[in-house]
Amino acid sequence: MTLRITVCVKYVPDATGDRHFADDSTVAREDVDGLLSELDEYAVEQALRIADESDDAEITVLTVGPEDAREALRKALSMGADRAVHVEDDNLHGTDALGTSLVLAKAIEHIGYDLVVCGMASTDGAMGVLPALLAERLAVPQATLLSEVSVAGGQVTGRRDSDAASERLQASLPAVVSVTDQSGEARYPSFKGIMAAKKKPVDSLDLSDLGIDPDEVGLKGAWTAVEAVAERPARTAGTIVQDEGEGGKQLAEFLAAQKYI
Amino acid sequence: MTHILVYVDHVDGAVRKPTLELLTLARRLGEPVAVHLGAGAQAAAEILGDHGAVRILAHDAPEYSDYLVAPKVDALQAACAALSPAVVLLPSSAESKEIAARLALRVGAGLITDAVDVEAGPDGPVTTQSAFAAAFTTRSRVTRDVAVITVKPNSAPVEAAPAAGTVEELAVDFADRATGTRITSRTRRESTGRPELTEAETVVAGGRGVNGAENFRIIEALADSLGAAVGASRAAVDSGWYPHAHQIGQTGKSVSPQLYVAAGVSGAIQHRAGMQTSKTIVAINKDAEAPIFDLADYGVVGDLFEVVPRLTEEIRARKA
Ligand SMILES: Cc1cc2nc3c(=O)[nH]c(=O)nc-3n(C[C@H](O)[C@H](O)[C@H](O)COP(=O)(O)OP(=O)(O)OC[C@H]3O[C@@H](n4cnc5c(N)ncnc54)[C@H](O)[C@@H]3O)c2cc1C
Ligand SMILES: Cc1cc2nc3c(=O)[nH]c(=O)nc-3n(C[C@H](O)[C@H](O)[C@H](O)COP(=O)(O)OP(=O)(O)OC[C@H]3O[C@@H](n4cnc5c(N)ncnc54)[C@H](O)[C@@H]3O)c2cc1C
């Protein structure tokens, strides 16, 4: 039996670029380069490793995003995923986390799956909630924030490290998994991988294909509203001193003056 | 009176500081009702009552520690059904955010995560969030009747506000799916004796410049002189010099202390994402061009192996 793995990947503005908001308080996408969220590379990597360990597996990468989001799919395909699905619809502009989870869940059901793999958080919204929302919507177990993951005998197991403890988890498939950046370095696409990716199928779906009412998504369908956006005022330039042997002492004086000692 | 549910983050009844901060925020919005799941409700009730919890809904069952997230969502859903709160507040820990998300979906609430402030507004609570590594501040609200909001540690003061703190049993029926993800083993982290990183008033962080696990001792010594928590950059963690639980940044902890001291940290955007909201930022780095100096209120350009021990000595002398 083929193990059907769907990896959710997000197309995000480059964190080293000039990220900012547009007039409608959504992310301004035109002015800054986008890329596959680096944390989703870890999800693709773990999916590839899980596929390698199983007799037969197929990896579909899935994104919900504008036209350019196809670049994120291409990157994932060049790493080794088999095919891609792109959900693209003008009505999606400004969708919140709950709406995004609806679209992703419908698309995952449309594709058919045994395992969903996500990153730990996107690098733009960074809420870290989508995997849990998908488990809720799909009514399957969540095994999230794993720094180690494996699949065998219809079970997913892994390690989840939190503040207070390190835990081992176990759940039956189908399940939703998310992996952290501790799960293992993501591979670079090889030249062969990049060439092969060009021939891999990328299917496009819109809201009507998924039976989603446009009112449920987008800015109109969002259950949260951004009322104001302000750029953080530039920090007033601090005092910078060169250590000539007295740097530690000068710093202590500063801390004392600020009442930290 | 409008009920505001506060999810209690605790270890066997030892309530963590962010929960007390939530009670401060809850009092601005209505009448705080705490929800305590798992063992130790009686121990927790006293401190929750002292900080404004009028009622404490408590439920203990093995499901909370044996299975991941879902049983707690069932319990909060039951609390929502019982009280019809306007707002549910949870701390912004990784687990609480997952609980918040699933709860919001079930009760038809808008979801806001990582708020750094919450105030009452004409159309319900208004939150402040910081976005894009704290380069932007946004104000948001929920367009539904119910808001589920997670709040970052150190976003509100802990204030005493004595209230009844009456403990009541919460009735919870677990759904079949609550037991989908089993926790098969748990290794508790040993306490370092230092303050909890996310809650600390002062944090001292070391980066690649510390150059070795052994050398982290000088970072720890500085931290101890200040009563601070110890943090590390991802470069230091990936090199195996300090445990991952101490990583600060986008994929580590997010901290917002009064004082942040960074030694041998360059200040990459992903590191800044986790510390840029600190009140006072101090940097020690031998490269005058390091981006961390753009954030620093006070910076020393110099070798950390010279500056840090000298600073520690000075602090000890002043405190003696
Ligand atoms: C600065 C900022 C703040 C925001 N605050 C809020 C808020 O408070 N409340 C709210 O409801 N919405 C908010 N949003 C919108 C929200 O981030 C997006 O709707 C979103 O797609 C879901 O959240 P996330 O990107 O934080 O994903 P996370 O939950 O952080 O993502 C986890 C994983 O889910 C998968 N994933 C996420 N999005 C996609 C996608 N589009 N396609 C494929 N896979 C995906 C990836 O595997 C990813 O690694 C905010 C957006 C921004 C940019
Ligand atoms: C998706 C993603 C997520 C990430 N998440 C995180 C995260 O959560 N946290 C994080 O920290 N990083 C994170 N990173 C990594 C981040 O991009 C940087 O690589 C990292 O922060 C660098 O750590 P550093 O400042 O310790 O090392 P470097 O950038 O190498 O800087 C070391 C500094 O030490 C100085 N130095 C060296 N020797 C001395 C000396 N003797 N005295 C004084 N100064 C000295 C140098 O001048 C230099 O500025 C992430 C990256 C990605 C792509």
Q: Domains in chain B and their CATH numbers?
A: 3-179 (3.40.50.620), 202-319 (3.40.50.1220)
Dig out the tokens for A56 from the structure. 């037969």
Atom of ligand 2 nearest to the CA of B287: 47
Q: How far is A247 from chain B (nearest CA, A)?
A: 6
Q: Which ligand is nearest to the CA of A16?
A: 2
Which of helix, strand or coil describes residue A162? coil
B189–A251 CB contact, under 8 Å: no
Residues with CB under 6 A from ligand 2: A 38-39, 123, 181; B 207-209, 233-236, 247-252, 264-266, 268, 270-271, 274, 284-287, 290, 303-305
Contacts of B189 in chain A (CB under 8 A): 163-166
| A residues 184-203 lying closer than 8 A (beta carbon) to B | none
In a domain, A233, yes or no: no
Q: To probe the interface with A, which of B179, B251, B256, B270 has the most A CB atoms within 10 Å? A: B251
In a domain, A238, yes or no: no
Instruction: Check pLDDT > 80 for residue B1.
Output: no
Which of helix, strand or coil describes residue A225? strand
CA-CA distance, B137 to B153, in Å (whole number)? Answer: 17
Contact A135/B at CB under 8 A: yes
Structural domain range at position A56: 3-221
Q: What is the mean pLDDT of residues B71-97?
A: 98
Nearest CB to A249; choose among B144, B299, B310: B310
The model's pLDDT over A38-92, given as tens digits with 9 standing for 90+, comes to 999 999 999 999 999 999 999 999 999 999 999 999 999 999 999 999 999 999 9
Q: According to the model, what pLDDT value does residue B172 have?
A: 98
Contact A20/B at CB under 8 A: yes
In a domain, A88, yes or no: yes
A261–B288 CB contact, under 8 Å: no
In a domain, A237, yes or no: no
pLDDT range class, residue A164, cuts 50, 70, 90: confident
Q: According to the model, what pLDDT value does residue A31 have?
A: 84
Q: Ligand 1 centre and the CA of B207: distance in Å?
A: 29
Report the candidate in B34, B23, B83, B27 with the shortest Cα–Cα distance to residue B56: B34
Q: How far is A201 from chain B (nearest CA, A)?
A: 32
Q: According to the model, what pLDDT value does residue B166 have?
A: 97
DSSP E strand boundaries for chain A: 3-8, 11-13, 34-36, 57-64, 83-87, 115-119, 142-152, 155-161, 165-172, 175-179, 202-205, 224-231, 239-242
Dig out the tokens for B61 from the structure. 């069952």
Amino acid symbol at A15: A
Lowest mean pLDDT among A17-26, B30-39, B175-184: A17-26
The model's pLDDT over B263-311, given as tens digits with 9 standing for 90+, comes to 999 999 999 999 999 999 999 999 999 999 999 999 999 999 999 999 9
The per-residue pLDDT of chain A, averaged, comes to 96
Domain containing A177 — which CATH number? 3.40.50.620
Contact B169/A at CB under 8 A: no
Q: According to the model, what pLDDT value does residue B42 have?
A: 95
In a domain, A42, yes or no: yes
In a domain, A245, yes or no: no
Report the candidate in B139, B112, B137, B260 with the shortest Cα–Cα distance to residue B198: B260
The model's pLDDT over B226-246, given as tens digits with 9 standing for 90+, comes to 999 999 999 999 999 999 999
Q: What is the mean pLDDT of residues B57-63?
A: 98
Q: Ligand 2 centre and the CA of B209: distance in Å?
A: 8
Q: According to the model, what pLDDT value does residue A235 have?
A: 82
Non-local (6+) Cβ contacts of B136 within 8 A are A20, A21, A229, A230, A231, A232, B130
Residues with CB under 6 A from ligand 1: A 8-10, 27, 37, 39-40, 43, 62-65, 95-98, 100, 104, 118-119, 121-122, 124-131, 224; B 111-113, 131, 140
In a domain, A192, yes or no: yes
Nearest CB to B187; choose among A126, A166, A180: A166
Q: Ligand 2 centre and the CA of B236: distance in Å?
A: 8
- Percentage of chain A modeled with pLDDT above 90: 92
More confident residue, B12 or B38: B38
| A residues 35-74 lying closer than 8 A (beta carbon) to B | 39
The model's pLDDT over A171-212, given as tens digits with 9 standing for 90+, comes to 999 999 999 999 999 999 999 999 999 999 999 999 999 999
B314–A142 CB contact, under 8 Å: no
The per-residue pLDDT of chain B, averaged, comes to 97
The model's pLDDT over B141-199, given as tens digits with 9 standing for 90+, comes to 999 999 999 999 999 999 999 999 999 999 999 999 999 999 999 999 888 899 999 99
Split into its structural domains, chain A has a count of: 1
pTM of the model: 0.97
Instruction: Check pLDDT > 80 for residue B130.
Output: yes
Ligand 1 pocket test, candidate residues A100, A124, A142, A204, most atoms within 8 A of CB: A100
Strand B55-59 to strand B166-169: parallel, antiparallel, or no bridges (unpaired)? parallel
Closest Cα in chain B to A97: B111
Q: How far is B26 from chain A (nearest CA, A)?
A: 19
Is residue A76 a contact partner of residue A22, using CB atoms and an 8 Å limit? no
Non-local (6+) Cβ contacts of A172 within 8 A are A141, A154, A155, A156, B180
The model's pLDDT over B106-122, given as tens digits with 9 standing for 90+, comes to 999 999 999 999 999 99
Is residue B10 a contact partner of residue B16, using CB atoms and an 8 Å limit? yes
- Percentage of chain A modeled with pLDDT above 70: 100
Q: According to the model, what pLDDT value does residue B96 have?
A: 98
Q: According to the model, what pLDDT value does residue A163 have?
A: 80
